[in-house]
Structure 1
Amino acid sequence: MKGRRPPLASRTKWINNSASGRYRFSDDHPFHPVRLELTENLLRECGALDGLQMVRPFSLEHAEQVIRDIHRSDYVANVAALSTGNPSLDAIKQAAQCGLEGSGDTPYFAGMHEASVAVTAGSLAAAEEVMSGRAEHALHLAGGLHHAFPDRASGFCVYNDAAAAISYIREKYHARVLYIDTDVHHGDGVQWFYYTDPDVFTLSIHETGKFLFPGSGFPHERGDSTGYGACLNVSMEPYTEDESWLDCFRQAVEHAARVFRPDIIVSQHGCDAHAFDPLAHIHCSMKIYREMPRIIHQLAERYTQGKWMALGGGGYDHWRVVPRAWSLLWLEMNDHPLLARIDSEPNGGHLPEQWPTITASRKSDDPLPTTWLDDVASWTPMPRRAEITAKNQTMLELSLQHVG
């Protein structure tokens, strides 16, 4: 962009996550809000989170209206009925068909409707901050619930806040949206919301659905009707490492942006493709969580006049991976001076000695990281590296055939 940049506080906004802390299935559920608390704690210890950058979410009433515009009314009614402290037998009987079985991945809980609306309210605020011009970038880490469908919950996601934000952008600003999903699980919900829409391009890089939930996201999923060619899936082999992941990601997003010419980028930053994550089989390090935001930032500068809103998502190594990954995202969105040290020092340099300072209980005995990036030289090399890399490239080339 031309001219002198305005101060950081006016360029990048942090959406207050406090209300979204109620989005909590149970103390033992892998999708736990302690991830948000640890990330904010790390950024504050680094002096990288300014109170002037904080923005309030939308009102719950406004967010609920957008939710009702994209989700089926009977589904929203069932979610609300299951959210009471003592749901009726009729509501419980409907739980299974809504994807909210008490014994499933996405069990209903007291206050679920209100908590899910609060998540959506934050993502809508991020969209408005960027599209209104009050900020170039906005981050809502509690968002990114990309598996929810119009009529059912799935994969820890009740309402699809990413789809709500995109629909809000389309309805109010008529902008073309490039949605980039970096979660290790396919961004299926967002894809199917916009599968026939030529003005929303959905791109997802993820572990192949042959082995991982939700079992979709293959190269032949290309969009339909007028939306054909506005859907790109980069399906990666188990045990993929940094170089192959980043090479495929860079080729895919640059091709998509060049062909689609978006007005805004909406990105989802699940950080569960890390080797430490317990719910997937990808063997990447913290390097990809330094580089992917940088690549997206560069695309925003080239194609959208800087307009970029980012969301959180998955990530289930709460202490060792998520806080570092999401902090690196925020630092990149701010062009923070700390990045120069991270990029130049061995393993990114040291984390603050006093971090973490919160008192949340930790169930693992694995030592906490002391550096921003991982010492991959100490990791056991993956077998079949050349074969995995070749297969990933072949799948990428197959996926790109229909784009542009």
Structure 2
Amino acid sequence: MKDQCSFVFSEELLNYKFSSHHPFNQFRLKLTVDLLNKMNALNPEHIIPPRMATDEELALIHDQSYIEAVKKAGYGQLPNGIAENYGLGTEDTPIFPNMHEASALLVGGTLTAVDEVMSGRARHAVNLGGGLHHGFRGKASGFCIYNDSSVAIKYIQEKYNARVLYVDTDAHHGDGVQWSFYDDPKVCTLSIHETGRYLFPGTGNINERGQGSGYGYSFNIPVDAFTEDESWLNAYSQAIKEVADFFKPDVILTQNGADSHYYDPLTHLSATMKIYREIPKLAHEIAHQYCNGRWIAVGGGGYDIWRVVPRAWAHIWLEMTENSNCYGSLPEEWVERWQKEAPVQLPREWDDPENLYTPIPRKAEITEKNLLTLEKALYPIRNHQKSESV
């Protein structure tokens, strides 16, 4: 019997919009929902509208002074000098009208997904409008105003008293979430991302393992630039299995940035749609193995909104609902509908062609480097297992 699943969405989530030329473009949500609709994979009864997060809920993570600053900024009442202290009005995070309301709705969407799963109404739930993992307690960063995943984890702890495994497969390190729970042993964070040597935010080294009683509950796997599918998936599959077995969570929250793809304009990895098939499959398995199926998924990065994000994010919902109708050709109706607006040639298949890019000359070196990184990242778990078996 298929699990009951909830899909959090309304077109209001598209109101989180910095400008028409900003790389963070929530129009990708509409493209993804339309793709699922065109293949008859998303029924109206699956869709739950997001609610607005309250100030009290935002304050589980964010400073009240910051929340007030975001409100004022959205009404044009925050002086530039003060705005910059809060990371607002920057090139990455420009001010836009009603930004508090738009941001609080994204957070509320993730809280809606949390309540669907933790109350037992659904086994799995997804809010693709969320995943804004760079937001800090008192500062916006990296296109992120409020950090919905951090608020959701704190909300889960306070309302449901559950242990949360947070898995972040965005090409950028999940810094905001990691630092929010860096000293908390009841939250385990695992981030697999492009090394910070070349990419924002520059953090996520393997030696960032937590502090105080939270030491040993933060895991980072910074893969090398130009990493390809096989090496990436080896790191992901080993890490998620070993970390889940070590932590034994009550619920899994996955952040599903779709920016590790070769086409993504902001990153330097060489993955294809192969990894976006496998990411939700393994998360689904882990959820059933350790969490009685409790799995909440959010979106995240993804800046090729036409060729990559809709296919990648559709896979999450198709996996949740055990729908295997995701091979071969994309719905012709979807391709024809959006090709008129797309600035690039849309893909016609679910999978990428084998010759998507010129072979990487450093493949063996990159693969070896990633194996060493994985070994170092998981060393505490593996060393503990060895000492226990002696």
TM-score (norm 1): 0.92
Corresponding letter in the other structure for 1:294: K
Aligned residue number for residue 22 of structure 1: 15
Aligned residue number for residue 398 of structure 1: 376
Question: CA deviation digits over 1:150-196, x for unaligned, max 9?
Answer: 01000000000011111111001110000000100000000000000
Corresponding letter in the other structure for 1:99: G
What are the residue-to-residue correspondences of 1:280-299 with 2, within 5 Å? Answer: 280-299=267-286
Question: CA offset at residue 87 of structure 1?
Answer: 2.5
Corresponding letter in the other structure for 2:61: I
Question: CA deviation digits over 1:260-307, x for unaligned, max 9?
Answer: 000000000000000000000000000000011101111111111100
Corresponding letter in the other structure for 1:396: L
Aligned residue number for residue 332 of structure 2: 353
Find the residue that maps to 2:93 and give its secondary structure.
coil
Question: CA deviation digits over 1:200-242, x for unaligned, max 9?
Answer: 0000000000110000000000011010111000110000000
Cα distance in 2 for partners of 1:171, 1:66 equals 11
Corresponding position: 1:193 with 2:172: no
The 8 Å contact of residues 17 and 141 in structure 1, kept in 2 or not, is answered as no
Number of aligned residues? 382
Cα distance in 2 for partners of 1:378, 1:87 equals 48
Aligned residue number for residue 81 of structure 2: 93
Corresponding position: 1:318 with 2:305: yes
Aligned residue number for residue 75 of structure 1: 66
Cα distance in 2 for partners of 1:63, 1:374 equals 42
Question: CA offset at residue 17 of structure 1?
Answer: 3.4
Corresponding position: 1:333 with 2:333: no
Equivalent position to 2:33, from 24, 27, 40: 40
Corresponding letter in the other structure for 1:238: A
Aligned residue number for residue 345 of structure 1: none
Question: CA offset at residue 359 of structure 1?
Answer: 6.2
The 8 Å contact of residues 34 and 360 in structure 1, kept in 2 or not, is answered as no
Cα distance in 2 for partners of 1:32, 1:358 equals 19
Cα distance in 1 for partners of 2:338, 2:266 equals 25
Find the residue that maps to 2:334 and give its secondary structure.
coil
Task: Give the percent of matched residue pairs that are identical in Structure 1 and Structure 2.
Answer: 47
The 8 Å contact of residues 17 and 122 in structure 1, kept in 2 or not, is answered as no
The 8 Å contact of residues 60 and 155 in structure 2, kept in 1 or not, is answered as no
Aligned residue number for residue 257 of structure 1: 244
Question: CA deviation digits over 1:31-55, x for unaligned, max 9?
Answer: 1111001000100001000101111
Find the residue that maps to 1:376 and give its secondary structure.
coil
What are the residue-to-residue correspondences of 1:168-207 with 2, within 5 Å? Answer: 168-207=155-194
Question: CA offset at residue 57 of structure 1?
Answer: 2.0
Corresponding letter in the other structure for 2:84: A
Aligned residue number for residue 364 of structure 2: 386
Corresponding letter in the other structure for 1:64: D
Question: CA offset at residue 362 of structure 1?
Answer: 4.1
Question: CA offset at residue 357 of structure 1?
Answer: 6.1
Aligned residue number for residue 372 of structure 1: 350
Aligned residue number for residue 346 of structure 1: none
Cα distance in 2 for partners of 1:357, 1:17 equals 24
Cα distance in 2 for partners of 1:361, 1:216 equals 40
Corresponding letter in the other structure for 1:269: N
Question: CA offset at residue 71 of structure 1?
Answer: 0.3
Cα distance in 2 for partners of 1:65, 1:37 equals 30
Cα distance in 2 for partners of 1:108, 1:360 equals 31
Corresponding letter in the other structure for 2:99: M
List runs of 5+ in structure 1 lacking aligned partners.
343-348
Aligned residue number for residue 387 of structure 2: none
Comparing 394-403 and 292-301, the one that deviates more: 394-403
Aligned residue number for residue 149 of structure 1: 136
Corresponding letter in the other structure for 2:329: H
The 8 Å contact of residues 219 and 232 in structure 1, kept in 2 or not, is answered as yes
Cα distance in 2 for partners of 1:337, 1:184 equals 26
Corresponding letter in the other structure for 1:397: E
The 8 Å contact of residues 131 and 257 in structure 2, kept in 1 or not, is answered as yes
Runs of 4+ in 1 over 3 A off after TM superposition: 356-363
Find the residue that maps to 1:377 and give its secondary structure.
coil
Find the residue that maps to 1:202 and give its secondary structure.
strand
The 8 Å contact of residues 117 and 294 in structure 2, kept in 1 or not, is answered as yes
Question: CA offset at residue 24 of structure 1?
Answer: 0.2
Corresponding letter in the other structure for 1:355: W
Cα distance in 2 for partners of 1:31, 1:361 equals 21
Corresponding position: 1:49 with 2:42: yes
Find the residue that maps to 1:191 and give its secondary structure.
helix
Aligned residue number for residue 132 of structure 1: 119
